[in-house]
Amino acid sequence: MSEVLIVELRAAGQQFLPTRLFMRRKDTESYEQIGNPARDVSYESPVTCEKQPRVVFNSFKLEKRGEGYGGDWAAVYAFNLHTKELTVCTSKDTLAVPERHTRAWISTLVSLSNDGQKLYVNVGIEKSAQSGGVVGYYLASLDLMDKKLELVCPLKDVFF
């Protein structure tokens, strides 16, 4: 057991800042940042498992869009809490989506299996249509070894 506290820090108020992740061991008082993301990259949606000393999280590349900010999905990372090694689990270039699509992204991480090998996520899949693109959201499982995504069920009314 790692006995590490993981904190997701989000900005509040008018100023927009990317989300950051921090860790603190049970027997220490200070937090240290997980990874060293670029200024325009957000680390968020961390999940952990019982049997592996690691945290898996999502990342987005942020940019100013009009009056606000938007983000494009970049990758899912794993961070080893003992060695502090950061590795890419999957990215927009390596995600194997089981359906024909024009674009796919992982919007949120939901949970990680106890052995740390299967990641449950919410995924957006855009398909082309005559009027443009149609986006569907799904609960899916991602095998972290072979990068294969399996859709579990569609998610309805994800925005309200």
Q: Report the percent of the chain where pLDDT is more than 90.
A: 65
**Contact 86/57 with Cβ under 8 angstroms?**
no
Q: Would you say 126 and 107 are in contact if contact means Cβ atoms under 8 Å apart?
A: no
Prediction pTM value: 0.90
pLDDT of 35 reads 95
Helix/strand/coil for 111: strand
Task: State pLDDT tens for residues 80-136.
Answer: 999 999 999 999 889 988 878 888 999 999 999 999 999 999 999 988 777 777 889
